[in-house]
Amino acid sequence: MHFNLETIVAWAKRRGFAYPGSDIYGGLANAWDLGPYGAQLHKHIVDAWWRYFIQERDDMVGLDAAILMNPRVWEASGHIASFSDPLVDCKKCKARERADKLIEDNGGDTPEARTFEEQYRYLVEHHVTCPECGASDWTEPKHFNLMFKTQQGVIDGEGKDIYLRPETAQGIFVNFKNILDTTRVRIPFGIGQIGKSFRNEITPGNFMFRVREFEQMEIEYFVENDITVGLQWLQTWKEISEQWRIEQIGIKKEKLRFREHDPKELAFYSKGTWDVEYEFPRGWGELQGIAYRTDYDLKQHQEFSGKDLQYTDPMTGKRYLPHCIEPSWGLTRAILTAMIDAYDEEEYLNQKGEKETRVVARFHPNIAPVKYAILPLVKKDEVQVQLGKELFHKLSKLYSCEYDDNGAIGKRYRRQDEIWTPFCITIDQQSVEEYHATPESVTVTVRERDSMEQKRVLISDLFLSLGYL
């Protein structure tokens, strides 16, 4: 079933996944705050990523670099000179748009590969209209740098210009030497990090798809300086990334596709770049980029910093600048994708036997906001409540849990089903009787969401019998 974005936005707010930023002040355009369930979803995606790509691999290390960096970094990386989008103004209503996006939305391919003159000609010849007012009267494109500039220092106007990082990747390149010098990594190896990035986007929107403050999960994987080897690793990273998306966070395979950058679109230093696209409610959009960047970044930083960034092969003594593959995920877009992908509506018969529609968000167990719901059947029963609270305190040391003793049990199951909580644990009269007989032999009912299977389990065996989440 197809659901439009407005439906997802409304549900996300209603169920505490995402609220408009600064809501009580009327909001701040295109800023979103993650609510309690959204924050849990975020954490679980981060955990699933870190565990899979850093913790469980012996060829990867993690990093957490600062957002504010020496401005020379951005000169070396090329961001000051060329991290810009082509901006056009509608002469009639003054709306600001991205020329490349207008071309793309009006049937033109590879707009990035066209010069500004060619882009302008396309807008004129195809009578591309302004999405705001419908006029077709554009200024010529001009560069708009997407970096947020700010000042470091205490005196207004005398501070030094610095930038909020527009990507996390450069923090990895500038720490390449530190990591070589202080750890035992050997080529091939990778460095991964997760963090905030900022881009002063001209046309933010589509909920969290394009925002000005977002998070990325990036890896630079360093390999030998040999193009055949590099291309093999590019292929490997395409496959590993696909496995993670589908197996670890459960994104539907049929909603994903790879798109290769054609030679005109490819950065001059890249030997191959792929976008992973997801079918969002408004069409296909990039979720992840996987780029073979050769030794471009290390070479630039070596030149601009004057520091030797070469790697010495411990076996042969050969010194060289490694090539690198960059699998770069948008974490904010991954959260959006997970919500869209999980959202579903189904018909059911209510207690009166009438058909009703309910929302279910079928999250993969790895990323479901709540892993265990603990539900004492009768709120007034002191022993049930006591057992439930004890269980909550034990389980919540390891997993995200929710304790809920409010309302009819059917309704409470529904609340958990709506967010696809993998396990619901109920404490009932039998548990109470067992408690009075021998406290060590208390059993509870575990209901597994996917199979709907219910089994009675000894509380003492609970940790052994639950799946790893």
**Choices 188-196, 208-216, 366-374, 394-402 (CB under 6 A): range interacting with ligand ATP:** 208-216
Site string for ligand ATP, 327-346 (x = CB under 6 A): -x-x-xx-------------
Can the peptide bond before residue 327 be classed as cis, meaning omega within 30 degrees of 0? no
- State yes or no: residue 273 binds ligand ATP (CB under 6 A): no
Using CA atoms, how far residue 110 sits from 81, 119, 262, 266, 305, in Å, is 22, 10, 8, 10, 35
| Residue among 54, 128, 174, 287 that touches ligand ATP (CB under 6 A) | 287
Cα dihedral 223, 228, 231, 235 in deg (nearest 10) = -100
Crossing angle of helices 5-14/331-342, nearest 10°? Answer: 100
Cα dihedral 236, 237, 243, 244 in deg (nearest 10) = 150
- State yes or no: residue 293 binds ligand ATP (CB under 6 A): no
CB 426 within 8 A of CB 447: yes
Please give the structure tokens belonging to residue 82: 């060329």
Q: How far is the CB of 100 from ligand ATP (least distance, A)?
A: 9
For residue 379, give the DSSP letter.
T
Contacts of 141 (CB under 8 A, 6+ apart): 86, 87, 88, 99, 116, 119, 120
Q: How far is the CB of 64 from ligand ATP (least distance, A)?
A: 18
**Choices 70-78, 324-332, 339-347, 389-397 (CB under 6 A): range interacting with ligand ATP:** 324-332
- State yes or no: residue 33 binds ligand ATP (CB under 6 A): no
**Largest pairwise CA distance in the chain:** 85
H helix intervals, 126-218: 169-174, 176-182
Question: What residues between 166 and 195 interact with ligand ATP by CB under 6 A?
Answer: 167
What are the φ and ψ backbone dihedral angles of 230, each rounded to 5 degrees? -60, -40
Residue 144: strand pairing partners:
85
How many residues bind ligand ATP (CB under 6 A)? The answer is 15
Site string for ligand ATP, 424-443 (x = CB under 6 A): --------------------
- State yes or no: residue 421 binds ligand ATP (CB under 6 A): no
Whose CB is nearest to ligand ATP? 330
Q: Can you list the pairs that 18-22 forms with residues at least 24 positions away whose Cβ atoms lie under 8 Å?
A: 18/207, 18/208, 18/339
DSSP for 351-373, please give it.
TTS-EEEEEEE---TTT-S-SEE
- State yes or no: residue 105 binds ligand ATP (CB under 6 A): no
- State yes or no: residue 286 binds ligand ATP (CB under 6 A): yes
| Residue among 9, 211, 298, 340 that touches ligand ATP (CB under 6 A) | 211
**Closest by alpha carbon to 400, among 427, 428, 378, 370?**
370
CB nearer to ligand ATP: pick between 250 and 327:
327
| Residue among 40, 119, 288, 443 that touches ligand ATP (CB under 6 A) | 288
Direct distance between the N- and C-terminal alpha carbons of the chain, in angstroms, rounded to an integer: 29
Please give the structure tokens belonging to residue 255: 């909603």
**Choices 5-13, 137-145, 285-293, 365-373 (CB under 6 A): range interacting with ligand ATP:** 285-293
CB nearer to ligand ATP: pick between 284 and 304:
284
- State yes or no: residue 245 binds ligand ATP (CB under 6 A): no
CB nearer to ligand ATP: pick between 7 and 84:
84
Q: How far is the CB of 289 from ligand ATP (least distance, A)?
A: 4
Q: How far is the CB of 43 from ligand ATP (least distance, A)?
A: 18
Interacting residues toward ligand ATP by CB under 6 A: 167, 199, 201, 210-211, 214, 216, 286-289, 328, 330, 332-333
